[in-house]
Each structure stands twice: as structure tokens, then as C-alpha cells.
Amino acid sequence: MRYSPLLTDLYQLTMLAGYLEEGMADEPAVFDLFFRHNPFLGGYAVFAGLDTALGYLENLRFAEDELEYLHNLGIFRPRFIDFLRTFRFRGKVTAAPEGTVVFANEPLVTVEAPLAQAQLVETALLNIINFQTLVATKGARIVHAAADGTVLEFGLRRAQGPDGGISEARAAYVGGVRSTSNVLAGKLFGIPVRGTHAHSWIMAFPDELTAFRAYAEVFPDSCILLVDTYDTLKSGIPNAITVARELRSRGHELVGVRIDSGDLAYLSRETRRMFDEAGFPGAKIVASNELDEYVIESMRSEGSRVDIYGVGTRLATCAGEGGGALGGVYKLVRIGDRPKLKVTSDIAKATLPDRKRLLRAVAPDGSFIQDVICLAGEDIAPGATVFDPANPLQYITIPLEARFEEVRGVAMENGARTAEPPPTLDEMADRCREQLSRLPQGCLRFINPHKFKVSISSGLNELRLRLMDEVQRGYKKLHRGETP
């Protein structure tokens, strides 16, 4: 799928035009993409959207009608339009694999390219990765809450537009939601498609039993009946059991029923009892209606008997405290041979300069201990002292028995992907599941989760403090009227 290069903010293009006029367009630059706070007030995030982003970068070029539109805006010089005509991304991308568990302030994606190329892609990369990472994280949380239950993605009708619905189904899969009601997403990504029927099917027939029989006649081997149109326990379930018996007499089995309203925990327990007593212990119970990780966890604590959770609105819109948007940013960390950082009055918000590696300290049993961000050329080993990025006076020592794993790798070189073939969605989802199993269990809590530690190395700490000191001394000189 091609994304137009006009999928950007105007200021990206005005900066590009300015770089061209200033002779800076080809200056080597390095940008980091990261987020400052874990979403949903949680203990982690699940990285997603990389393959989509790499596809955007590979196909980045301006069509003639797009150039004509920019020309007609009347703000760009002909030289800039000509520059865009041959514009391509030829840079390097270092990133975590999709499905990797990541944390606030870690460089998820690093782009190294001539300044014009690295600058233009900011908006699109943030648009793609912010949303898909947020959805993958929400999906992983919901799957964790469901435990041994199955989760289906039902969010298309409530998603943020058609493209949001497609991206959401893909990213939810990375987080572990391995089926969707979205037929186009099924076609594009090979995601298994699932579904039942709506209340309108029941209402289109003279009565509920007639509607159930008609549906079972058409779909005898994949029949799931929606049982709450009128009264779940007094009408829906008895009629569903009648149809289940009729199907069995013809050599078929009712797959299950779906409950879409009411007290889902109580109704699921009663539904299970009624089906078991009728001789259908294999009939599945599907629950839907404004579900999310909190509701599912509450239902399970009440002894619900739901087998399959259909999650729509609150997954597609990433609803919940600390949700809605990831808030990822894209910051310049090096230009030419000069490391760069953004300085604020709050050291916790100061960026981390220069090219970096992201390492994960792992215990002998394979569990994750903590992450360390260090300079690209810096040697670091177990036993090293590492620092709190928000408070350099706080430091800890990496255990001697730990080993380090590289979290990221080169995903694109000279504008071409390095992974052939690219990883599948199943491989991404498997990685997510495996990595979550290696986290401290407290990180998976929904309320007041354990904070997984992310530290910076001594070399990176010293560089950041030195650059901050240089900037502050420059401010003081300006204040005194001196040339910085």
C-alpha cells in the first residue's frame, strides 16, 4: 500500500525547502523515535507498525499531480519542486522487531539519512508507529486479561476511519488478538476472519426460533447464535438448545452462542449450566459489548464461563486512562559530527543525544532484569554501573550473572529492507507472547504496575551532562551580551 508523501505536516516541507536553500539538505542526520510515558498507565508497551513504516519509506516518491499541488500552493520555489521530483529515501533504519516489549524513553526507531530525507518522514512514521504500538499494547493487555480465553477483534465499525480499522486489526494481531471480523484486513494480512450475525437477523424473521433455524440451515457447521435479542435465559438459550438438537440430528454441532448485553458474568454461568444439562458441553459462549481488559478481568473474578471475548470499541479506539494516543516523538540526536539534545528545565525531559544501542539485561533463567541505553560505540558488560536518566545521582550495578541482549537491529539499509523474507504476523505475535512471559509479573498488572527499570550508561550520562552544561554556558554568555 502506497502512502502519499503529502501525508505530512506542512512544516516538514517548509523545513525541507529551508534546508535546501541553506545548503543543509544533504547534511548527515540521526533522529530517534520514542515515547515518554507507557500507555494506559501500564508497565510496558508492545512495539508495532514497523513493516508498514518500512513500506512507506521504500515507496516514498512524489507523483506529478502531488508536485503540481505543492506548486499551486504558491509558497515554494521551482527549485524545491524540482528537488522533490527525484526525492527518495536512501537512509538506514534501526528498530526493534515488531512484537518486542518496550518502555518509555527508549529509542524504538532510529533513522540515519541526509537531513532532508530524515526530516520529511517524521510525521508519517509517528502516525504509523504511534497508533499501531498503542493498539498492540491494548490488545496484549486484553489477551492477558482473557487468560485461556480467546479474543476476537470486532472494532471496525468504531475505528478511526477505514485506514484506522485496517491498521487496528493488524496491530491487534501483533498484540495477540489473532482473528478479526474485518474482511479486508483478513485479505490484506492473512488474518483469520470470524463473525456471527446481528440482532437485525433475528428481527427480520417472525420469531427468534425461526431466525435461529434459518441461520443454522445456511451455516450448519459454523453456527453461532446471538441469544439476547429478546430474553437471553427465557428465550434465547432455550431456542438455541432446540436448534442445537436439530443440528445434531442431522450430523452437525452448534458451535456456540453470543451474549451481547446484560450481566455477562452471570448470564455466561447460567448459559453454561443450561447447555451442559442439555448435553452440549462443547458449545462455546461468546461475550461482547464494550469489553476491555478491566471488564474481562472483573468477569473472570466473578466466575464467568465465557470462552471467547469479542472486543470492539475499546480496542479500536484504545479507550482507557492513559490511552487514546501514544504521544511518541521524533527528535534530532546528531547532525554531521555533532551530537544534539533538546534541553529543558526538567532533566527528565531532556533527550538522549547521539547514536545509541538498546540493551536488555537478562537473568540466567531468561527473565528480563532491566534495559540499558548506551552510546553506539560504548563497551558495556555485566557489573557495569548505570544511571537513572531522570536523576543522574541515582545509579545501580548490573548483576554479574546477567547477560545482555540487543533489543534492536538494522531493519533498512540504503532505503531497502534487510529482512528477507520479512517476519510474519504470527512470528510477531509469538514474540510478544514470549517477551511478556519474561517480564517481571508485576509489570503485567493493570493497576499500579511494577516499573521496569530503564537506565543509561556512564558514557551516555556523561555526554548528556556535558552537552547540557555547554548549552547552559552558552545561554549565560548571551545573557551577558557575549558571543556564545
Cα separation of 228 and 210, whole Å?
15
Mean pLDDT of 311-331: 94
The answer on pLDDT for 443 being more than 70 is: yes
Q: What is the pLDDT of residue 5?
A: 97
Q: What is the pLDDT of residue 278?
A: 98
Q: What is each CA distance from 349 to 89, 104, 390, in whole angstroms? A: 30, 11, 8
User: How confident is residue 476, by pLDDT bands cut at 50, 70 and 90?
Assistant: low
Q: Which CATH superfamily is domain 136-316 in?
A: Aldolase class I (3.20.20.70)
CA–centroid distance for 127 within its chain: 11
Q: Checking DSSP bridges between strand 308-311 and strand 368-375, what pairing results, if any?
A: unpaired
**Cis omega (within 30 of 0) on the bond before 97?**
no
Cα separation of 190 and 381, whole Å?
42
- Prediction pTM value: 0.95
Mean pLDDT of 247-265: 98
**Cis omega (within 30 of 0) on the bond before 421?**
yes
Q: What is the pLDDT of residue 481?
A: 67
The answer on pLDDT for 145 being more than 70 is: yes
DSSP letter, residue 348:
G
Q: Checking DSSP bridges between strand 256-259 and strand 284-287, what pairing results, if any?
A: parallel
Q: Collect all residues with Cβ–Cβ distance below 8 Å to 148 and sequence separation of at least 6.
A: none
- The backbone region for 197, taken as left when phi is positive above 0, alpha when psi lies in -120 to 50, beta otherwise, is beta
Which residue in 13, 4, 18, 53 sits closest to 33, CA to CA? 53
Parse the chain into domains and list their residue ranges.
Answer: 136-316, 350-419+453-484
Mean pLDDT of 347-356: 87
The answer on pLDDT for 484 being more than 60 is: no
User: How confident is residue 474, by pLDDT bands cut at 50, 70 and 90?
Assistant: low
pLDDT above 70 as % of the chain = 97
Read off the pLDDT of residues 153-183 as tens digits, 9 standing for 90 and up.
Answer: 999 999 999 999 999 999 999 999 999 999 9
The answer on pLDDT for 483 being more than 70 is: no
Phi, psi of 161 (to 5 degrees): 85, 170
| Sign of the CA dihedral with 138 first, then 144, 146, and 151 last | positive
Q: What is the pLDDT of residue 400?
A: 97
Which residue in 55, 90, 74 sits closest to 17, CA to CA? 74
Q: What is the pLDDT of residue 254?
A: 98
Mean pLDDT of 389-400: 93
Kindly report the average pLDDT of the chain as a whole number: 95
Mean pLDDT of 274-288: 98
Give the position of cell 448470564: 267
Mean pLDDT of 400-423: 95
How many CB atoms neighbour CB 15 within 10 A?
17
